[in-house]
Amino acid sequence: MGYKQSQGNHILFFNHSSLGGVTTLIVYVDDIIVTRNNDAEKRLLSQCLSQEFEMKIVRRLKYFLGIEVAYFKNSIFLSQQKYVIDLLQETGKTTCKPVNSPISSKLICLAHIRPDIAYAVSVIIKFMHNPKQIHLQAAYHVLHFLKGITGKDILFKKHDYLALEVYTDVDYAGSIVDQRSTSGYCTFLGGNLITWRSKKQNVVSRSSAEAEFRAMAQGICEILWVNIILKDLKINIDGPMKLYCDNKSMINIAHNPIQHDRTKHRD
């Protein structure tokens, strides 16, 4: 049995393995996604849940948390176009002029399947409990950006390989307020983007190499968690897990064992 709670969206993940297969439940308030590689047991589980709760069973996933799901041959398309259009109508921004960047260099707001606004989202929510006019303008800026990219969403395509990879990067001392760096990573499974994150580091890094270390540590934690989920689902990846970064200092340290002594505090 596996379990994880997503802190940002309060989504519960349950994985259960048995001799007959693997069952996964994703629960958000009163919405539940049930997956299993055994159709008979999946139907039995749905019947058991229906006996305890009043439920409406939809056979194929079409809409969840503002995400529309479309199925094609060997691919799945995730879109938030309807959610964006509804948001623009609600805020009176349906006729706004689109912009080319999601944030001016200050704030953010919104991102289920949009890694391009992940950083923008992480900034605006810091002020959600005490917003001011400048923060509202920053949120409107994000809406203007979304107006220009409706229909550009995420496509999951079936490939002949199932490699697990993570790319990490860092904006060294990017914050002009506290000189802290912002870490970012993107995780790919079989060439498809599955998770991503952009978050300011908790401490001030004293070098670009140290900042890169922290970003890599977050990427490693993410790829290990994804691998655990895949094992629970009885899915085997092709080859070793791979971590990519573009920092020359980190690459040189990794290739030169003599320099490993300088990084023992970060083993």
CATH number at residue 231: 3.30.420.10
Query: Pairing state of beta strands 31-36 and 21-28?
Result: antiparallel
Cβ neighbourhood burial of 185 (10 Å; 0-12, 13-18, 19+): buried
Say what the pLDDT of residue 20 is. Answer: 57
Mean pLDDT, residues 79-90: 84
Radius of gyration of the chain (CA): 21
Identify the H or E element spanning 153: none
Instruction: Please give the Cα distance from 5 to 122 (Å, whole number).
Output: 19
pLDDT tens-digit readout, 118-152: 777 777 777 878 888 888 888 888 888 878 776 67
Say what the pLDDT of residue 110 is. Answer: 43
Which tokens belong to 119? 């950083």
**Residues written for the chain:** 267
Say what the pLDDT of residue 52 is. Answer: 80
In a domain, 260, yes or no: yes
Domain that holds residue 52: 1-59
pLDDT tens-digit readout, 5-61: 454 455 565 666 664 567 777 787 778 887 777 777 777 777 787 888 787 777 788
Question: What confidence tier does 191 reach under pLDDT thresholds 50, 70, 90?
Answer: very high
- Structurally, the chain folds into a number of domains equal to 3
In a domain, 72, yes or no: no
pLDDT tens-digit readout, 205-263: 888 888 888 899 899 999 999 998 888 888 899 999 999 998 888 888 778 777 666 66
